[in-house]
Chains A and B, each alone.
Chain A
């Protein structure tokens, strides 16, 4: 069902765990469907993703696609990260079984959710900064 590339990454997933100093955290999926993905981002003042990590509850494809997603966005700008498509993840993996394609879509959504969380936090930060200035 899975090709060797997928299994290899599943065996040794990259960027597993929480991230110290993460300023963008995105969580997508639910347990009933079998996948929950959480991506942690550390974005610097220039809008570059300095570091990324993940935690995933799910099948082989879920864990593998989140690992690939975090690899893809490390060192990229927010704009570049937002452009990451699930098809890119599938291409890197050399294909996924049809019924597992949704995992790659979820991984793409997890990146977006983490960035969204970053923006929200920044806005809050700006607000509190403004308020404290007044």
Chain B
């Protein structure tokens, strides 16, 4: 049988068996609408409540501060547009970073068309937002700071607690897109002084199509999706009970097994990086040297282009990505790497390997072997040589 290695866990994960087991009865046994008053409805409502409690516990919030959505993109859109519209009388200025996920950047662009002003903070070569620059960017009319917790392409972890402190000190609402952080970072909304936080289920071995937005009690927000009385009148639409139940279980498991998997994945990551450095010349590891999550490795292979590498690996059954799945098909080199000051040609040759719970040492060995072959083959085809590259 053809060998398969999945190293795209930052794009999505499989559903854990324990999660699936909890979801299954929700399809055919506990199929009631949680908003119905009868016993079928109450039963479903009980399952949704339990999922909400589990998520609240995991992020140290109250249960009534967790609102279910269709996923990370909706949560980001709701947080940014909802706050912008609710606080427009105070001001129309929002601060974000230049390396946010396209959901955040897309929502900001939409607000710009409505007359809002957005400051896109630059990042340093490691992908970190400079806190002094953040403070400098805050104005009287600034209503929101939205900075991601973990970058999805390079894995750099922002100084979220410090940003939360700054936002509070200057009385600005703080939203963080923690979609990529949930699997490998302990998130505590109280300790980190977070006002709104987006999370998603399918990055933590839960089903796709469900996520949540944490909204601190006391924060005003305009609805993104109007409709019935679901989610305390804030988000219309019949609740997707099986997905919500799966999400709750997935988050609970993530926190429960946090140390176990993070240790395992870190060991594999370190091994992977060591091996690549040893076996393949002319590579650049992108991102922060240590302030980064364990599951994401972003490497630029000089003199060649990323998509070609991806496809040669795909022929061998290995799944990786160039940048993020959301930007694939784009012709421009990754805007994240560009913002970090990575040279265009080097950025073109970047590949993201994202490890997961089921990744084994064998997977890594197989990948390194095939990767070295692919890179060698493409470098033979490439007209670029080390001496033709600028600065060499």
**Which residues of the partner chain A approach B330 to less than 8 Å between Cβ atoms?**
99
Nearest Cβ on chain A to B320's Cβ, whole angstroms = 14
A57 to B380, Cβ gap below 8 A? no
Can you list 15 A-B contacts with CB-CB less than 8 angstroms, sorted by A residue number?
A2-B311, A7-B311, A10-B308, A11-B315, A55-B381, A56-B381, A56-B382, A56-B383, A57-B304, A57-B345, A57-B384, A59-B308, A62-B305, A63-B308, A102-B331
The size bracket of the interface on A is 20 to 34
Proximity string of chain A (54-77) to chain B, C-beta cutoff 8 Å, 1 when within and 0 when not = 011111101100000000000000
Contact with A along B377-390 (1 / 0, CB 8 A): 00011111000000
Asked whether A34 lies within 8 Å of B333 as measured between CB atoms, the reply is yes
Contact of B307 among A11, A27, A56, A60 (CB under 8 A): A60
Instruction: Give bound CA distance, A60 to B344, whole Å.
Output: 18
Interface assignment of A31: CB less than 8 Å from any CB of chain B: yes
- CB-CB under 8 A from A99, the residues of chain B are 329-331
Distance of A38 Cα from B348 Cα, bound (Å): 18
- The yes or no answer to B303 lying at the interface (CB within 8 A) is yes
B322 nearest CB neighbor, chain A only = A59
Chain A 23-66, CB-CB to B under 8 Å as 1, else 0, gives 00001000111111110000000000000000111111011000
Instruction: Specify which chain A residues have a CB less than 8 angstroms from the CB of B311 in the assembled complex.
Output: 2, 7, 10, 60
Q: Which residues of A contact B333 (CB under 8 A)?
A: 32, 34
**Min distance, Cβ B311 to any Cβ of chain A, angstroms:** 5
Q: Is the CB of B329 within 8 A of A57?
A: no
Query: How far is B379's CA from A56's CA once the two chains are assembled, in angstroms?
Result: 9
Query: Which of chain B's residues have a CB closer than 8 A to the CB of A10?
Result: 308, 311
Q: In the complex, how many angstroms separate the beta carbon of A119 from the nearest chain B beta carbon? A: 21
Structural contact, B308 and A31, CB atoms closer than 8 A: no
Q: In the complex, are the beta carbons of B344 and A32 less than 8 A apart?
A: yes
A34/B329 contact (C-beta < 8 A), A7-B311, A57-B382, A60-B311 known: no
Is A13's beta carbon under 8 Å from chain B? yes
Q: Does the CB pair A31–B383 fall under 8 Å?
A: no
Interface size class of B (residues with CB under 8 A): 10 to 19
Contact of A33 among B331, B380, B383 (CB under 8 A): B331
Q: Is the CB of B345 within 8 A of A31?
A: yes
Which of these, A1, A38, A58, A102, contacts B305 with CB under 8 Å? Answer: A58
Q: Are B344 and A58 in contact (CB under 8 A)?
A: no
Q: Nearest 7 pairs between A and B by C-beta?
A: A31-B345, A55-B383, A32-B344, A59-B307, A38-B383, A57-B382, A57-B384
Report if A19 contacts B (CB, 8 A). Answer: no
User: Contact flags (1/0) for B324-345 with A, using CB distance below 8 Å?
Assistant: 0000011101000000000011
**Complex-state Cα separation, A94 to B233, whole angstroms:** 52
Q: Note all chain B residues with C-beta closer than 8 A to A11.
A: 315
Please encode chain B, from 294 to 325, with 1 for each CB lying within 8 Å of some chain A CB and 0 for all others: 00000000011101100100010000000000
Residue of A at shortest CB range from B379? A57
Alpha-carbon distance between A15 and B330 when the two chains are bound, in angstroms: 28
Assess whether A16 is interfacial by the CB under 8 Å rule: yes
Q: Which residues of B contact A56 (CB under 8 A)?
A: 381-383
Q: Which of A13, A36, A59 has the most CB of B within 10 A?
A: A59
Complex CA–CA separation, A107 to B189 (angstroms): 53
Closest residue of A by beta carbon distance from B384 = A57
Q: Report the bound CA distance from A35 to B315 in whole Å.
A: 22
Chain A residues within 8 Å of B304, by CB: 57
Min Cβ gap B257→A in Å is: 35
Query: How far is it, in angstroms, between the C-alpha of A11 and the C-alpha of B381 when the chains are bound?
Result: 12
Known: A57-B382, A58-B305. 19 other contacts (CB 8 A): A7-B311, A10-B311, A16-B381, A32-B333, A32-B344, A33-B331, A34-B333, A36-B383, A38-B383, A55-B381, A55-B383, A56-B381, A57-B304, A57-B305, A59-B305, A59-B308, A62-B305, A97-B329, A102-B331
Interface centre among B330, B348, B381, B384, by most A CB within 10 Å? B381
C-alpha spacing A59/B349, complex, angstroms: 10
A97 CB contacts on chain B under 8 angstroms: 329
- In the complex, how many angstroms separate the beta carbon of A97 from the nearest chain B beta carbon? 8
Q: Which residues of B contact A60 (CB under 8 A)?
A: 307-308, 311
Determine the chain A residues whose CB is within 8 A of the CB of B348 once the complex forms. 31, 34
Q: Of B303, B331, B382, which contacts A34 at CB under 8 A?
A: B331
Measured CB to CB, the nearest residue on chain A to B390 is: A31
A-chain residues with CB within 8 Å of residue B305 when the two chains form the complex: 34-35, 57-59, 62
